[in-house]
Structure 1
Amino acid sequence: MKHLLLTAAAAVSLILPAFAEEPAAIPSPGEIVAAAPASDWVAIAPSDLLVMDLAPDAKGKARRVIIQLMLAPFSQGWIGNIRKLAAAHWWDGTSVNRVQDNYVAQWGDATEKKALPKGLAVMSEDSYSLALDGITYWESPKTNTTTLKAAWRSPERFEGGPIIRDDSYADGTMFWKGWPVAIAGDTKADEIFDRGKYVWPVHCYGMVGVGRNMSPDTGSGAELYAVIGHAPRHLDRNIAVVGRVISGIEYLSSLPRGTEALGFYKTDAERTQIASIRIANELPTAEQPKFEYMSTKSDSFARYADARQNRRDPFFIKPAGGADICNIPVPVRPVPAK
């Protein structure tokens, strides 16, 4: 009997630690990003970065805003103009002339009298979105309409990144080379790739668009704005999206709100002056900012997107079970110093 009791006690001692172990901690989105391997990050070319230096603040602190320009084939007519404007140093001495609460911060020539560089392109409204048929810019050259249809109907992700089916402004949204884009087609989601297909970049927080007058004017790119409030998705396909702020958004979002209609400033004294705007590769090599984004076709991004849609880390009580495309911001970070 004594032998049996000892054996039973030994067995219990082996079992109890298993019950005493804490469940494995579920990582938060931020922890997933921090743990992503270097291979899951993609460098942003300096030629795709627009560097805006505002006048120093009241305490003399420098204020630099860095914008990543939209990749081809989206909005390339406007982006070509932006490159010409930056090369001509056209924005130097202009200002942030509009800040509307929960909406946008806008900059350009407040007088609307400054001559534009010659040779700027004029775009049509058709360029706000692109036809999906026959395009070749998906992540994999092997991806075609058939595989896209299959990806939409069953898997949660394909080469371009996770697909978000539920959207109030489109038939669906997804990620393409690090950018959030929307798709519209037939009214039935599972027929989206069959006919009437269009794709366009969307207005999330920090996205940069082109100011314009009434249609058919589409704007030249000389007047730009950054979204500093709730995603104004109603602007999608009505205004060109040309980039996103990846650093320094706080220098725009914290500016005093304009007192005139639509948040425009009334006097020059209220405006924040722009010292310079340059494409990053125009700066000396040592001064060029270096950033990278998390590949939206990586396993790390798939886990991150899932975690943003279904928060299971300790603070949360009930996972939402989904997320708007703008609530899954693509991680961007400065390149770690070597």
Structure 2
Amino acid sequence: MMKKFTVVIISLLTVFNAVASDKEWRTLDPENAILLTLPHGKVVIELAPQFSPNHVKRFKTLAQKGHYDGNKFYRVIDGFVAQGGPEDGSIKDKAISELKIEADFSIDKNWTFTLVQQNDLFAEQTGFKEGFALGKSDKENKAWMLHCPGVIAMARTNAPNTATSHFYITNGQAPRYLDRIMTVFGRVVYGMDHVQAITRTSVIEGDTPVNPKDFTPMVKVQLMSDLPKEQQIRLEIKNTEHPSYAKKLSDRRKRESAFFYKKPPPVLDICQTPVGVRMIK
């Protein structure tokens, strides 16, 4: 009897997953979403525990403890990253243990994603899985998250396993040379304009240095599910596993619009391939 019951559960789960994959949009899970409140607006970050479980667990725990509230973005370089966290060497900073890097993860022959490009400059293959941009190597049986604009990753010192709580958000062109040597654990899905408006702390040579008191603070960093429902920002995200998304990629690669009177090569840069997001009213 128990065996039959188990089979029924598995069958129901299979049906449920099939139905879910048929939907063109998926709802952002508030349990894996961070609301970053800045003085000038709100930013929503979708976390990726399926790819970087330990860093997501750390970030969620620290957010729930108020670890980031009031800290500043102290290293903000135009076209690169906005990095923030507690003051270096402070009690709050020293209290956090170091994390082992989660730069990539193992896959098997049945692992799939929605292919974007073969043999780009940094990976054998690139594609999307559950809305996240990934690189893949069949030779190594490995996959990893990519440094596309808007991703959030944990900062570290020179040694790989030294991440604590300092993090950065990429605010410009993809620094893909950081792929597989840092832990990416999520991406901005709402409010990227507010990330771009974070005060730059780096100036050109000869310009007046930015006073630290003018650095952009994090007003609050909260787990979305901890907020009352009426304060949550509810979003839907394009399902990158749906056939319509693969078609979108194909159409984008062909560039059949009359605007392209000269056709560019039929390639796609995964970091310039947006995944749609919309508000739930």
Question: What is the TM-score when the length of structure 2 is the normalising length?
Answer: 0.83
State how far apart, in whole Å, the 1-side matches of 2:34 and 2:258 are.
39
Mapping 1:147-162, distance limit 5 Å: 160-162=113-115
What is the total number of aligned residue pairs between the two structures? 256
* Cα offset, 1:163, TM superposition: 4.2
Of 27, 40, 45 in structure 2, the residue corresponding to residue 67 of structure 1 is 45
Of 255, 279, 287 in structure 1, the residue corresponding to residue 198 of structure 2 is 255
Detail structure 1 runs of 4+ shifted over 4 Å in the superposition. none
Mapping 1:3-82, distance limit 5 Å: 39-56=23-40, 63-72=41-50, 74-82=51-59
Q: Report if aligned partners of 1:77, 1:121 keep a CA contact under 8 Å in 2.
A: no
* Cα offset, 1:324, TM superposition: 1.4
State how far apart, in whole Å, the 1-side matches of 2:53 and 2:23 are.
28
* Cα offset, 1:266, TM superposition: 5.4
State how far apart, in whole Å, the 1-side matches of 2:99 and 2:83 are.
20
Output the aligned Cα RMSD: 2.4
AA in 1 matched with 2:130? K
> For 1:232-262, what per-residue CA distance to the aligned partner results, in whole angstroms no more than 9, with x for missing partners?
100001110011111111122133422369x
Which residue matches 1:123? 99
* Cα offset, 1:122, TM superposition: 4.0
**Identical pairs, percent:** 26
Q: Report if aligned partners of 2:131, 2:237 keep a CA contact under 8 Å in 1.
A: yes
Partner SS for 1:304: helix
AA in 1 matched with 2:27? A
State how far apart, in whole Å, the 1-side matches of 2:253 and 2:135 are.
17
AA in 1 matched with 2:235? F
* Cα offset, 1:111, TM superposition: 4.4
**Which has the higher Rg, Structure 1 or Structure 2?**
1
Partner SS for 1:64: strand
* Cα offset, 1:268, TM superposition: 2.6
AA in 1 matched with 2:32? D
> For 1:100-134, what per-residue CA distance to the aligned partner results, in whole angstroms no more than 9, with x for missing partners?
0110111112344142597x664333x2111223x
Which residue matches 2:120? 167
Unaligned runs of 5+ in 1: 1-37, 57-62, 134-144, 149-158, 185-191
Question: What is the TM-score when the length of structure 1 is the normalising length?
Answer: 0.70
State how far apart, in whole Å, the 2-side matches of 1:182 and 1:121 are.
29
Unaligned runs of 5+ in 2: 1-21
Q: Are the structure 2 counterparts of residues 121 and 161 from structure 1 closer, same or farther at C-alpha, using a change threshold of 3 Å?
A: farther
AA in 1 matched with 2:192? I
State how far apart, in whole Å, the 1-side matches of 2:116 and 2:78 are.
31
Partner SS for 1:281: helix
Q: Are the structure 2 counterparts of residues 270 and 217 from structure 1 closer, same or farther at C-alpha, using a change threshold of 3 Å?
A: farther
Partner SS for 1:237: coil
